[in-house]
Amino acid sequence: FYNREKYDDFVPVLATEWKLSDDGLTYTFNIRDGVTFHAGGTLEPHDIAYSLQRAMLQDRIDGPMALYLEPVLGTSSLTSLAVERANVTKEGATLADVPADVSIALCEEVMAAVTADDAAKTVTIKLKSATPWFLQLLAQPWGGALDSEWMIEQGDWDGKCQNDAGEASWVAWNGPDAQATKLFDQANGTGPYKLESWKKGQEIVLVSNESYWR
């Protein structure tokens, strides 16, 4: 997170420390031990990788993921990149018009750019172009840590690029309406307060997280 009002200095939160390669293209983060999600799961590096991969693959229209996709893949839109790679000339083409092999390869590229090593407790992010402001992006709330196992149990993205039939299954989670996302009215974070109830248009009740790592 940002160090108070400073925009170029950061304090460790879920990552205890990090390093940047000499060429400015590879970030390695050491993930903190002893952090639990509100629903009881344990935060592990693969959860961080899943969260960032899911956010970029979801790439909601008018959402913030273009800011991640530019340095990671060199594009502001997964759909436009997939359409371009598939040489689809149809006006207004979507991922549904893109052959499965192209869509799957694009997903695999996203997953290769963000990897986790649970044993070493690290997450590595590889960029296509040096981006000095990348830490500023990570300090924003857009890529918050999700419990991957819990998300999959809720019926969200299963962490795979294709299903057993060889179809680009991840496409089903791309660009959803806000109300259609599993996290529209649920929360399972790691912060000091957790969502107890939400009566839409009336009140939101938060309660103290007794398992908060701090």
Report pLDDT for 4: 93
170, 178, 209, 196: which is closest to 43 by C-alpha?
209
Model pLDDT for residues 26-75, shown as the tens digit of each residue = 999 999 999 999 999 999 999 999 999 999 999 988 889 999 999 999 99
The whole-angstrom separation of Cα 115 and Cα 117 is 7
Report pLDDT for 207: 98
Asked if the model's pLDDT at residue 128 lies above 90, the reply is yes
129, 96, 111, 118: which is closest to 25 by C-alpha?
129
With pLDDT > 70 as the criterion, what percentage of the chain qualifies?
A: 100
Asked if the model's pLDDT at residue 143 lies above 80, the reply is no
The whole-angstrom separation of Cα 43 and Cα 127 is 24
Contact 34, 55 (CB under 8 A): no
Report pLDDT for 61: 82
The whole-angstrom separation of Cα 74 and Cα 206 is 39
Asked if the model's pLDDT at residue 88 lies above 80, the reply is yes
Model pLDDT for residues 93-102, shown as the tens digit of each residue = 999 999 999 9
**Secondary structure (3-state) at 16:** strand
If you average pLDDT over every residue of the chain, what do you get?
A: 95
pTM over 0.85: yes
Report pLDDT for 124: 98
State the pLDDT confidence band at 184, using cuts at 50, 70 and 90. confident
Mean pLDDT of the 9-37 span = 97
The whole-angstrom separation of Cα 130 and Cα 89 is 32
Mean pLDDT of the 112-116 span = 98
